[in-house]
Structure 1
Amino acid sequence: MADGTLRLMLPRFLRRFPADLAVTVLLVVATAIAALAPVISETPLRIALGLAFVLFAPGYAFVAALFPERGPTGDEAGSESAASHDSNAGMAGRADPRREGSIDGIERVALSFGLSIALTPLIGLVLNFTPFGIRLVPIVLSIGGFTLVACAVAAVRRRELPAEDRFRVPYRAWMRTTRVELFEPDTRMDAVLNVVLVVSLLLAISSVGYAALVPRTGESFSEFYLLTENESGALVADDYPRNFTVGQSQPVIVGIGNHEHERVEYSVVAELQRVSIRNNSTTVRERQELDRFSRTVPANESVDWTHNVTPTMTGERLRLIYLLYRGSPPSEPTAENAYRETHLWVNVSSQ
C-alpha cells in the first residue's frame, strides 16, 4: 500500500516511465556524481558505476529504442500465464506474428554489451575532433546524454505499442528460472556446468575489480608542459610567443598530467630570468616572479589553464621558466629544487 501511495505521488510521466529505463537513467546520474563529485570521485564507487556506465548503459538504451516490443518467447512477467492460455486454446507451438521482428532477453543483453563496446569508442572519436577533446567531463556528458536521449526514445516507442506487446523486464521469471537452473539441475553434468559457470563469473568479476582497484606498481611520474592555441582552437606544442613588450600580456597554456597513481596537489611558480650560460653552467643574474598557482589533480588525469604573461623586465634571450612542485614550493624556488621545470627563451622590448 505504501509503495502504491508513493507511486501515485509521482508525476504521471514518471509513473508511466518503464522501470528498466528508469534504472538506466539513475545509473547515468549516479555515475556523473561519482565521477565528478570531489570526494566520491576518489572512492571505488566511481569505478564500479563507471564500468556499468561505459560497458552496458548506452548499448542497453540504444537496443531499447530499436526494439520496444517484448520478445517472441515472452519477455514479460506474464509470459507463463499467456503460454498457458495459448496451450489451452490449442495454439501451442505457434509464433506470435506481432513479435517476429523482436529479440529475446539473452539477445537483448548480448547486444547491450556489444553495442556499448562499439558506441563508446565512436563517441570518443567524435569528441577527439571537437574543441572539448577526450577528457573526463566531455566523455561523461556525451555518453550520458546519448544514453538519456535513447531512453527517452525507447519510452516513447513503448508507449505507442499495445500494453501486452511492450517489453518489460521479467525480473521474477528470471530469478525463478535462475534458481531452478542452478539448484535443481536435470542431470549431474548440468550441475557441474552450473558450478563452472558460477566460478568463471566470479573469477572474471574479481579480475576486473582487482585490476581497477589495486594501484599499479609501475613508474610514477608527472607531465609538465607548455602549449599554445592554434587558429582552429586546438592545443599544440608549437608556435610559442617569443617576442614580448613590457606591460603587454600574451597567453601561454600550462599543463600538468598526473601519473603518480594518487591524487596530488601541485604548485607552479612562473619566473622571468636573466641568465648567463658558460661551460654548460647556467647562472641566474636577475629574476622576476610573475605568478604562482596551485592545482589539485586526480590520479591519471590532466589539467591545463591559460597564464597571461606580463613582463616588466627587458632584454634579449630571457628565460621564461615554470617550476613545478608537489605540495608547497620552497621559499626560494629554483630550477634545481623543482620537481619538474619547463621554459621558453623570449625577448622583451620596452615598446
Structure 2
Amino acid sequence: MKFDKVASLILLILLAASIVTVIYITVNPQSGEKFTEFYILGENGKAGNYPTNLTLGETGNLTMGIVNREQNTTSYYLVVQLNGTKLYNNTFTLTKNETKEIPLNFKATTTGQNQKMEFMLYKLPDNTDVYRSLTMYINVK
C-alpha cells in the first residue's frame, strides 16, 4: 500500500513536470540560428563574372548583398577598400529577414597585379571587430 502511494506521487510529479515542459516550449520556441548573409555579385547579379581584370581607367561594377538573419532589427557599417584606400562606407539598419543589395562602381586607378579589395561588414554597435568579410583580387593593366 505504501509502495502504491509513493509510485502514484512519483507519477504525479513526472506528469506535472511534463506539462510544465510542454508549456515552456510552446511559449518560448527556439528562434533558430542567428547570422548575417554577406555576399558579392558580379555582372547580371550572379555569383561570378567579377571585374577582376581591368585596364587602367576602366570601371568595375558589382553588387554587395546583406541579409539580416539575426532574428531582430540590426544596424551595420559596411566598408570597402582597394589596397587600403577606402572606396565606400555606409551605415544602415535592416529589419529581421530584410535584404539590402548595394551597387558598387569603382575605377581602376593604379596598375598592378593582385590588388586586394576588401569588403568589411561590422555589426553595430561594435565598429572595431569585423563581423563578416570578403576579399577579391583585381588585376589592372
TM-score if structure 2 supplies the norm length?
Answer: 0.71
Matched residue, 1:269: 79
Contact kept, 8 Å, 1:288 with 1:313, in 2: the verdict is no
Equivalent position to 2:96, from 276, 292, 299: 299
Matched residue, 1:347: 139
Indicate the RMSD between aligned Cα atoms, in angstroms.
2.2
Aligned in 2, Cα 1:320/1:219: closer, same or farther, shift over 3 Å?
same
Q: Which amino acid aligns with 1:258?
A: N
Instruction: Note the alpha carbon deviations across 1:186-215, whole angstroms, 9 max, x for none.
Output: xxxxxxxxxxxxxxxxxxxxxxxx79xx77
Q: Secondary structure at the match of 2:42?
A: strand
Displacement of 1:301 after TM fit?
A: 1.9
Q: Which amino acid aligns with 1:261?
A: Q
Aligned in 2, Cα 1:293/1:246: closer, same or farther, shift over 3 Å?
farther
Provide the rounded CA distance (Å) in 2 between the counterparts of 1:339 and 1:240: 23
Provide the rounded CA distance (Å) in 1 between the counterparts of 2:94 and 2:118: 21
Matched residue, 1:315: 112
Contact kept, 8 Å, 2:43 with 2:61, in 1: the verdict is no
Paired residues in the alignment total 115
Q: Which amino acid aligns with 1:260?
A: E
Displacement of 1:305 after TM fit?
A: 1.5
Matched residue, 1:221: 35
Instruction: Note the alpha carbon deviations across 1:173-232, whole angstroms, 9 max, x for none.
Output: xxxxxxxxxxxxxxxxxxxxxxxxxxxxxxxxxxxxx79xx77432211010001233xx
Displacement of 1:244 after TM fit?
A: 2.3
Alignment of 1:237 onto 2:47: yes
Identity of aligned residues (%): 32
TM-score if structure 1 supplies the norm length?
Answer: 0.30
Q: Secondary structure at the match of 2:100?
A: strand
> What are the ranges of 5 or more consecutive residues in structure 2 without an aligned counterpart?
1-25
Provide the rounded CA distance (Å) in 2 between the counterparts of 1:262 and 1:215: 15
Provide the rounded CA distance (Å) in 2 between the counterparts of 1:215 and 1:253: 35
Q: Secondary structure at the match of 1:225?
A: strand
Provide the rounded CA distance (Å) in 1 between the counterparts of 2:31 and 2:72: 12
RCO greater where, 1 or 2, for CA within 8 Å and sep 6 or more?
2
Aligned in 2, Cα 1:259/1:223: closer, same or farther, shift over 3 Å?
same
For residues 69-108 of structure 1, the aligned pairs below 5 Å read none
Matched residue, 1:324: 121
> What are the ranges of 5 or more consecutive residues in structure 1 without an aligned counterpart?
1-209, 274-286, 331-336
The structure having more radius of gyration, on CA atoms, is 1
**Between structures 1 and 2, the one with greater strand share:** 2
Matched residue, 1:254: 64
Provide the rounded CA distance (Å) in 1 between the counterparts of 2:35 and 2:64: 17
Contact kept, 8 Å, 1:227 with 1:236, in 2: the verdict is yes
**Between structures 1 and 2, the one with greater helix share:** 1
Provide the rounded CA distance (Å) in 1 between the counterparts of 2:140 and 2:99: 31
Provide the rounded CA distance (Å) in 2 between the counterparts of 1:246 and 1:289: 18
Provide the rounded CA distance (Å) in 2 between the counterparts of 1:340 and 1:223: 9
